[in-house]
A and B are shown apart, each in its own frame.
Chain A
Amino acid sequence: MIRFALPITFFLLIPTGLFVLQLKADETDSAAFFEKRIRPVLVEHCYECHSASAQAIKGGLRLDTREAIRSGGESGPGVVPGDLELGSVVSAMKYESVEMPPKGKLSESVIADFEKWVADGAIDPRDAESVPPLAATSEIDWKTASAFWSFQPPKRVALPSVESTQWIQRPIDAFILAKLEAEGLFPNEAADRRTLLRRAYLDLIGLPPSEQEVHSFVQDESPTAFQDRVDQLLASVRFGERWARVWLDVARYAEDQAHIVGDDKSLFFPNAYLYRNWVVRAFNLDMPYDQFVRLQLAADLMSPEDRENWVALGFIGLGPKYYRRNAPDVMAEEWEDRVDTVTRGLLGVTIACARCHDHKYDPFPTEDYYALAGVFAGTEMLNMPLDDSVEAKDGHAKDPDKSMHVIRDQKPRDIKVMIRGNVENEGELVERGFPRVLTGGERVVFKKGSGRLELADAIGSPNNPLTARVIVNRVWGQYFGKPLVGTPSNFGKLGERPSHPELLDDLSVRFMQNGWSLKWLHREIVLSATYQQSSAIDFEKQESDAANQWLWRANRRRLSVEAWRDSLLVASGAIDYSFAKGSIQASKATDVRRTLYSSISRFQLDPLLVLFDFPDPNTHSERRSLTTTPLQKLFAMNSDFMMKQAEQLADRLIQLDVSTNEDRIHSAYASIYSRNPDREELLLGLDFLKEGSDGKRQWTKYLQALLASNELLIVD
């Protein structure tokens, strides 16, 4: 790289032979000068950060060998013998460029010593052998680099042969079973019908089945009974609502900003919901995933005439805008958000790491980062008028309430590397383009406008080794509680390796062959025997695979906050399925639309969402954390929201045209758990309801307990 070559060039320009000859005579004295005046200062004030023993070598600069101090670091050569202008060390000590040491300026006499030392030829008796020089950032061998598993195109392999072939229902099962058999394990039996239906409902549409639906399924003797239900659920509009939220985590969807100056709402996104609704519709229509992705990056460039899908640009257009925006350092932060969301979200690689230095583990040099950041440097966030009647200036709607929040191209431009991420420390100009390791080491340069469309095409391409794998892995993770690659947004060296690499590849290839159809993928997974296993714990199998890494059973899972809250609203009967404008407050007892429609704030997230592991919408979320805290339980025990649901259900049950509490308990179990109570449950309920003089109060208490139970919270 050129910036590292510079110091060496300067060094060689000095006629060293002559120089050494001239100085030979007083070398001993000069060495003494170094030992007495220079080395102690370096040791005391500089080595802490600039030597082999430093915890982290700052600025790539080491001062503990002759070679190192001369070749220097990111700010150029440290010392150029005889030249006070060129070296970075003395100017830093004088606080001219950077200020070193940061703790306080060294005394004038020390600085004078260093000036004299450099002017006299920077005689440095330290031998290079004392410490090996820093490994120079070598040129990446692209062939080797692209051999890493995730940079290789996914390939289909023959289905592995297995013993228990009768278990196999889908190709997925062969891969799972082969591993299980190799590990001396075998799959669980299929889950009972009631369990299976509840699981499929919650996974596919995020809502529990009604008692009638359970009943009819249990009675249905048709061989396609389950498949029929799955197809119905995939066709339901509730399906898009359930899965949109998974995407919104990836897209760090939000409706406002973390920074709010005064009451200034000008950077908010009052119509963010339009993007959210677009995602719901896209999933319901089974829009091919490659197109889904491309539209979100470049809908305006793909169909300049037809604006129908432009709102998809909210993927970038709803990103964080920071305080003091338009200042160079702030825009650099915003570009990082765009690059990070696109690369971790769509490609599962952590290119934002390369903003300050070459990626330490993956083959992404700093240039790759700036080649992508340049794309976003050539765009702007835009509140685009919803229609022609809206007043606008230079294309920006005057009233954000009458706009959609998208991006558009500005003057395209390449940007310069910012050394160590510092906007004031410019390196080489980098042409916009795609990360080289994903194109076999070739530098693919973007030439059209900002480069957004080319970027969109490069991501949504069947030749991209990552795009399909990353989304297949995310979807898989939702069904099994853990993805095949345990780090769904990091398929790099520090990420985890897939537990079932051939399965991931096979699914990814077939996903693309099936027109990038997400519904195909969902169906393929849900109809597998693997998915339909029971979650029962077999203690022998548990011994050998406690984490269920090889999937010998289904994993019991706590519901997401969305599915839990929606289940409560279904049980109380309060749920409102309207696909309306705007958003609700998730924790507000009277806001009863599905949780997907919650207002998402970067400034202050709704307290209910916070409690149940909703991710910070300021950045892309790789996966949700899963915590169990007493604060969650305080919500279940004491919140207005829970009380309201319990009261509403109590009202309904009390008004029922039945005579006994026993009948009412049956109704309660049907509403909440889609089943009948057993004898013991019935007795517990009857006993509890006997207490107290106020019927409604006692019923409310009883129902609140049922709503707060583990049975509603955890899916088998």
Chain B
Amino acid sequence: MDPTNFSRRQMLHSCGAGFGALGWMGAMANQGLADAAAESSSPIGVPHFPARAKRVVFLFMNGAPSHVDTFDPKPMLAKHEGEQPSGKLYRESKGSGYMASPFRFQQYGESGMVMSELLPNMSRHADDLCVIRSMHTDVPNHEPGLLMMNCGHLQPVRPSLGSWMSYGLGSENQNLPSFVVLSPGRPVVGPQLWSNSFLPGQYQGTSVDTNDLDVDRMVSNIKHPLLGKFEQRQQLDLLQALNRKHMQARENDAIFDEQIRAMELAFQMQSEVREAFDVARESKETREMYGETPFSNSCLIARRLLESGVRMVQVYYVTNKNKQPWDTHSDNDNQHRKLCADSDRATAALLTDLKQRGMLDDTLVIWGGEFGRTPYSEINKKNEKAKPGRDHHHTGFSMALAGGGIRGGLTYGATDEFGMNAVEDRVHVHDLHATILHLMGLDHQRLTYRYSGRDFRLTDVHGRVVQELFV
């Protein structure tokens, strides 16, 4: 146990700091900072060490993209096409053996990073991207896979990455939530993926359905159903006058002042939130660069939010009709063609946009899904005419990172020659989390929260910071 942690908690109680304040206090690195912060009532973030990234955008390809069709070329699959994979499989192969990717891979940029033809726009950013080819996770099922990637645990009672980050760093903009989830439709698992769980409620991700771009419908309670700004101000003036009168009769107890200030802040937030979420304010060129799909609109909103000081934005690649479009159990090739076309354009536009605004250096961009897909085929037994797909695959897959202190042009780690298992410089999801937190200035071993009698961490008892990825 960290003895300073205990005394800090006692100190807080004796200072009468509210329970809510404990959250970000718990993450503080030393007593001096905690003392200083205890006097201030707004949650400020205190990183453990200098941060390379100030904000994160996580583009989540729900259903799991195929690594051998995107970032991890495997010529051996063509050579051994149709052979059944050897070795221990999580579950029996349901198909006709190894299946080569029909997509052409080639080198891009000065770094010579190898990428598939499915990513023509992202490949122009090859020298900004870092691809980890040696990702692995614990289970090839969506629900636990999603929970692991988002919350670091296979079961649903842990705070999410974004919640941990908000808890550790607070918000850059008091008028906006620090963790926003943009999801045109609902991903599998759903709200648990952005849950604060046992962290205080203010660290929960604010989720927004981006199908409807009308801001007042997108963000709940952001506009009065009847009153315009002027009328609402009048109403608020009356309310605050009554509140102040009430407070003055009660020794100006701070409990009232806190409420009065929150009310004032809420009034200010309305216009700022509406502006931040409003893509209609973007130029025609920008809208065109991103594209006009639900995912690309979400990416554009993400940029606006990051620019306004939101700490973490997570964009889920889902639609109204499909909670996991990337789950290509059949017709893998054509589906990947379509999905990549959309995702590639929007992701590349986001990278370009961030770069043009000078934000890429301190914005960490993450692209990937809950795991990868099998290098061997899956045949739909009920519909033999259907083209082959690929099944879930967790022992080796790829993720792409960019910006925020990441070394561009780096291809890190490797799977074996068939893309079956990560074999070189393996990176578990816990390691990825430790690395993300590190880039944000947080030590994954010190970012803890005391709950149920013990100190919890995003990375549990695991996690290695993959220093090799850093600039």
Chain A residues with a Cβ under 8 A of chain B: 55-56, 58, 102-105, 258-261, 320, 322-324, 329-330, 333, 340, 344, 349-350, 352-353, 359-362, 486, 489-490, 492, 494-496, 535-537, 539, 546-549, 556, 558, 602-605, 607, 610-611, 613-614, 616, 618-620, 622-640, 643, 680-681, 684, 688, 691, 697, 700-702, 704-706, 708-711, 713-714, 716
Contact = CB atoms under 8 A, between A and B. Distances in A.
A622 B175 CA distance: 30
A103 B422 CA distance: 10
A613 B198 CA distance: 11
B189 A627 contact: no
Contact of A260 (B10, B190, B247, B253): B190
Contacts of B242: 681, 684, 705-706, 709, 711
A104 B425 contact: yes
Nearest to B155: A333
Given A103-B464, A494-B6, A635-B221, A710 B202 contact: no
B192 to A, nearest CB: 5
B311 to A, nearest CB: 16
Nearest to A350: B453
Interface stretch (B122-130, B262-270, B363-371): B262-270
A709 B177 CA distance: 24
B423 interface: yes
B15 A547 contact: yes
Contacts of A700: 226
Interface in B384-433: 423-426, 428
A344 B452 contact: yes
Contacts of A630: 174-175, 262-263, 265-266, 269
A492 B453 contact: yes
Contacts of B223: 638
Interface size class for chain B?
Answer: 35 or more
Contact of B197 (A618, A633, A702): A618
Given A323-B144, A546-B15, A631-B266, A58 B253 contact: no
B255 interface: yes
Contact of B251 (A537, A701, A705): A537
B341 interface: no
Given A58-B461, A616-B198, A688-B238, 14 more contacts: A102-B428, A258-B156, A537-B250, A556-B250, A603-B192, A613-B201, A623-B19, A625-B200, A627-B20, A633-B265, A634-B222, A634-B266, A638-B221, A705-B236
Nearest to A607: B220
Given A637-B224, A702-B238, A713-B259, A627 B461 contact: no
Interface string B226-240: 110001101110110
A705 B239 contact: yes
Interface string B8-41: 0010011110111001000000000000000000
Given A259-B189, A684-B238, A619 B198 contact: yes
24 contacts: A58-B461, A104-B423, A105-B423, A261-B143, A322-B156, A324-B144, A360-B454, A494-B1, A535-B253, A556-B250, A605-B191, A616-B196, A616-B197, A619-B198, A628-B20, A628-B258, A630-B174, A630-B262, A631-B177, A631-B266, A634-B221, A637-B266, A643-B225, A706-B242
B328 interface: no
Contact of B191 (A489, A558, A604, A619): A604
A625 B20 contact: yes
Nearest to B259: A710
Contacts of B464: 102-103
B262 A632 contact: yes
A629 B227 CA distance: 22
Nearest to B153: A333
Contact of B245 (A103, A558, A681): A681
Contacts of A631: 177, 206, 221, 266
Contacts of B204: 610
B286 interface: no
A93 B207 CA distance: 45
B241 interface: yes
A629 B20 CA distance: 10
Given A323-B141, A634-B222, A701 B20 contact: no
B338 interface: no
B202 to A, nearest CB: 5
B44 interface: no
A709 to B, nearest CB: 6
Nearest to B452: A350
A236 B49 CA distance: 57
A457 to B, nearest CB: 25
A344 to B, nearest CB: 6
A56 B255 contact: no
A489 B239 CA distance: 39
Contact of B270 (A340, A634, A708): A634
B195 interface: yes
Interface string B168-206: 000000110100000000001111100111101110101
A182 B223 CA distance: 54
